[in-house]
């Protein structure tokens, strides 16, 4: 059975390959999860213990003060948070073969049709090319206008960037990525005081993900724990030494894979501004062999993807990333979305509508980035995560528009100090 919602990096084949084997294993071990599973871990928290009192200007969803540890990361008191109780809505538009002008048009249309500007816009850069002779990032200035400038000029109060230079953890720890980190730092600091939220090492705990820890591209070396922490901290140090004080750092593992690696690899509160995770509802209502949440097979709501607790399909639920990290840092979902169930056409629109209720019940949820992209050319026909797909069913996009217009997701961010 698939063990989680799919990400954007072409992992579908791996999950399907173990589907039949895992169903047999489930019966054989009495509701065990098989080799690809929602992994449990001991309930010990990461090393740093969060403070329980934060600035009175920041409140959790239940009205209580935010933890003080929300303001101990690289951005300090300038961490990106809603201006009032609620959650940020971040747009991540694109897809395989989508040109930069088409992305601009798509984001603009989303904002026009919802009657609002997104709190933040998330963009992506490849990590295998060279920029100005330095390997590790495509040249952001080749786009006209640059993605960051366009996002700011079109209403985003911050820009999120998904990017990891194409080096192994071992190479990073030997200094190989320092030049490109420094170059990126000196570029992004020119956008100050607008904050740039850098989402690096995306889904590092999924073996099929490029640059996974451990993974084939890392020579199958196990860089979980101290090696990963050292690489992350080195990255932050390079940015800070180059004066990029407006750059924050967003830690987003995959939700369900290798939980022990995630916990062991957390870089520490001083080096992280946001935490989050990525997962998707990839399961149709009737598909009882598909698990997007450990709670049950079949269709999963937003709340079931990120805030599962109590009794799960194989016993006590493992701790969600939200439960583990939310009390430490603002929890902002890095990627999520849902398939369209052709047999239940109202479900996708309802997925968006129900997000508001789920968000209000998640004390530490501070934002959601929807993966509004069609990647079916790389991942298969059912990997079209566009929020209006299919356009033949207007109730789908109506559900998204209802989410986007809800006051809970219309907060804007706090101004920089």
pLDDT-derived band at 99, boundaries 50, 70, 90: very high
Q: How far are the Cα atoms of 73, 95, 295, 315 from residue 251, in angstroms, in the given order?
A: 12, 23, 24, 28
- The answer as to whether 5 is a domain residue is no
Number of CB atoms found within 10 A of residue 243's CB: 12
pLDDT-derived band at 30, boundaries 50, 70, 90: very low
User: Is 0.85 topped by the overall pTM?
Assistant: yes
- The answer as to whether 415 is a domain residue is no
Residue given tokens 């109730």 in the structure block = 395
Flag whether pLDDT at 302 surpasses 60.
yes
- Decide: 409 and 186 in contact? Cβ < 8 Å: no
- The answer as to whether 7 is a domain residue is no
Domain count, the chain: 1
- The answer as to whether 414 is a domain residue is no
The pLDDT assigned to 412 comes to: 66
**Would you call 82 helix, strand, or coil by DSSP?**
strand
- Decide: 120 and 157 in contact? Cβ < 8 Å: yes
The average pLDDT across 302-327 equals 95
Alpha-carbon distance 285 to 307, whole Å?
A: 19
Alpha-carbon distance 135 to 182, whole Å?
A: 12
Provide the token pair at 111.
């904002």
- Decide: 297 and 22 in contact? Cβ < 8 Å: no
Q: What is the DSSP letter of 62?
A: T
> Could you give the angle at the alpha carbon of 158 between the alpha carbons of 154 and 159, nearest 5°?
85
Q: How far are the Cα atoms of 107, 164, 173, 223, 265 from residue 226, in angstroms, in the given order?
A: 39, 18, 11, 7, 7
- Mean per-residue pLDDT over the chain, rounded: 86
The average pLDDT across 210-235 equals 82
CA 322 to chain centre: 12
* Residue-number span of the structural domain to which 314 is assigned: 12-409
Flag whether pLDDT at 370 surpasses 50.
yes
- What is the pairing mode between strands 158-162 and 120-124? parallel
Provide the token pair at 294.
């450990």
- The answer as to whether 1 is a domain residue is no
Residue 349 gets the label, from left (phi > 0), alpha (psi -120 to 50) or beta, of: alpha
**Selected residue with higher pLDDT from 399 and 55:** 399
What's the maximum distance between 2 C-alpha atoms anywhere in the chain? 58
- The answer as to whether 6 is a domain residue is no
The average pLDDT across 164-185 equals 95
- The answer as to whether 89 is a domain residue is yes
- Decide: 66 and 59 in contact? Cβ < 8 Å: yes
Provide the token pair at 74.
């690289």
Helices 394-405 and 100-114 meet at what angle, rounded to 10? 70
The average pLDDT across 117-129 equals 95
The CATH number of residue 135's host domain is 3.20.20.80
Residue 144 gets the label, from left (phi > 0), alpha (psi -120 to 50) or beta, of: beta
Q: Give me the percent of the chain exceeding a pLDDT of 70.
A: 82
Residue given tokens 């366009």 in the structure block = 150
- The answer as to whether 416 is a domain residue is no
Helices 226-241 and 178-188 meet at what angle, rounded to 10? 50
- Decide: 367 and 319 in contact? Cβ < 8 Å: no
């Amino acid at each position: 059975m698939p063990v989680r919602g799919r990400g954007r990096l072409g992992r579908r084949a791996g999950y399907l390959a173990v589907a039949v084997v895992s169903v047999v294993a489930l019966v054989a071990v009495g509701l065990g999860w098989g080799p690809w599973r929602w992994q449990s871990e001991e309930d010990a928290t990461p090393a740093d213990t969060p403070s329980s009192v934060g600035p009175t200007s920041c409140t959790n969803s239940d009205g209580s003060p935010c933890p003080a540890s929300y303001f101990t990361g690289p951005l300090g008191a300038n961490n990106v948070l809603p201006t009032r109780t609620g959650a940020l809505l971040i747009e991540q538009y694109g897809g395989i073969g989508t040109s930069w002008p088409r992305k601009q048009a798509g984001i603009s249309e989303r904002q026009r049709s919802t009657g609002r500007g997104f709190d933040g816009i998330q963009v992506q850069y490849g990590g295998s090319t060279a920029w100005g002779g330095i390997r590790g990032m495509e040249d952001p200035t080749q786009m006209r206008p640059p993605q960051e400038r366009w996002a700011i000029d079109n209403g985003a109060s911050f820009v999120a960037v998904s990017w990891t230079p194409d080096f192994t953890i071992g190479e990073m720890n030997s200094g190989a990525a320092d030049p490109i980190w420094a170059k990126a730092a000196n570029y992004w600091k020119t956008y100050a005081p607008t904050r740039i939220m850098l989402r690096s090492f995306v889904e590092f705990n999924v073996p099929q993900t490029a640059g996974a820890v451990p993974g084939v591209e890392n020579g199958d070396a196990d860089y979980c724990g101290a090696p990963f922490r050292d690489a992350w901290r080195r990255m932050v140090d390079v940015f800070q030494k180059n004066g990029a004080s407006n750059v924050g750092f967003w830690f987003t593992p995959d939700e369900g894979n290798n939980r022990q690696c995630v916990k062991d690899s957390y870089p520490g509160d001083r080096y992280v501004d946001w935490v989050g995770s990525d997962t998707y509802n990839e399961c149709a209502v009737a598909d009882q062999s598909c698990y997007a949440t450990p709670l049950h097979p079949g269709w999963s709501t937003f709340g079931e993807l990120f805030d599962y607790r109590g009794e799960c399909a194989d016993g006590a639920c493992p701790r969600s990333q939200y439960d583990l990290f939310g009390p430490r840092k603002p929890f902002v979902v890095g990627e999520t979305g849902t398939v369209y169930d052709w047999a239940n056409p109202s479900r996708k629109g309802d997925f968006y509508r129900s997000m508001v209720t789920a968000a209000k019940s998640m004390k530490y949820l501070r934002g959601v980035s929807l993966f509004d992209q069609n990647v079916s050319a790389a991942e298969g026909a059912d990997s079209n995560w566009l929020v209006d797909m299919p356009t033949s069913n207007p109730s789908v996009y109506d559900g998204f528009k209802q989410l986007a217009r809800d006051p809970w997701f219309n907060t804007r961010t706090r101004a920089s100090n």
